[in-house]
Amino acid sequence: MIASLFPAFLTPTPLQELKDLPGQGHRRVFMKREDLRDPELGGNKWCKLAGHLSAARASGHTRLISVGGAWSNHLHALALAGRRFGFSTVGLVRGEPVMTPTLQDAIGAGMKVQFVSRENYRQRNTDEGLAELARPYGPAWLIPEGGGGLAGHAGITHLAAELDQQVRGDVLLAVPVGSGTTFAGLIKALPPRFQVWGFQAFHDDTLASRIAGQLPEEHVGAGWKLHQTPGMRSHRRLPALLENQLNSFEAEQGIALDPVYTVRMMAALGQLFESHIIPESYTVLALHTGGLQGRRGHGLVKAA
């Protein structure tokens, strides 16, 4: 269904082999280039949104409403997808009014941006709270933060099918984790030969339990792990260690990383390689989730 509606899903995104990573040893390591899914919408955010757009269209909705921060990859992709596929969009943005290149792009694509106090924004985590935040804007298809929910998982199921076809044998799949929707969707959809390891981008003591709550009973505690990453508390400014690793990776591998999710995952993977925790018999597959527009918030060019 998703592939028939959205041509970006007809051609699988490529795997790119990575060489000479610190501690890599004899392991084969590949990066799944979801950043190449679509020139404007590329990344896992688009996979999740595709499920929501399909469901919204099937239910007759023409307006989409969601929530996020001032540098939100999710709201950025939502605005551009809305313009392309004929939906009006509303972005409810956390915090005091501020204008960023991300929001400028979203407004330029036709999104109505409304700032919400941090206190009121806390309502977003329940269906009832999100509906109350969105109530002033009339009937709409509501999309949880980061594209969560069952409709978001539908797009991730398509991604999982690609991965299953592209790599054989025992696989350790590394996934950057924000809201946990992509991570949980992949755990549910992939066969047991995949170990799915999440790399937590934000400090959140409730994340593991919220992810477990999205999983069927047979998946709880089986086939997946959640790891912390360097610099989890430092998102307003990229720590020097991570900035150096981002620049080195780009120079050596020819791949631009985003400064919040993928760079932290790769830094943590390097630590695991060097500690010999990952068996060399596994093929390691690192998911590049896109988000390159967010590089501008850290003084970096949008993409290499």
pTM to 2 decimal places = 0.92
User: For residues 274 and 23, is the Cβ–Cβ distance under 8 A?
Assistant: yes
Instruction: Select the more confidently predicted residue: 161 or 219.
Output: 161
CATH topology of domain 44-147: Rossmann fold (3.40.50)
Instruction: Look at strands 283-288 and 224-228 and give their pairing.
Output: unpaired
Give the pLDDT of residue 37.
92
Classify residue 262 as exposed, middle or buried by CB count within 10 Å of its CB (0-12, 13-18, 19+): buried
Tell whether the torsion through CA atoms of 80, 86, 88 and 89 is positive or negative: negative
Out of 64-68, 129-133, 194-198, 273-277, which region has the weakest mean confidence (pLDDT)?
273-277
Instruction: Select the more confidently predicted residue: 39 or 234.
Output: 39
The ranges of the chain annotated as CATH 3.40.50.1100 are 2-41+149-298, 44-147
In words, the CATH class of domain 2-41+149-298 is alpha beta
- d(CA 269, CA 263) in angstroms, rounded, equals 10
The pLDDT of 26-39, averaged and rounded, is: 94
Give the pLDDT of residue 222.
66
Give the pLDDT of residue 304.
46
The pLDDT of 285-289, averaged and rounded, is: 98
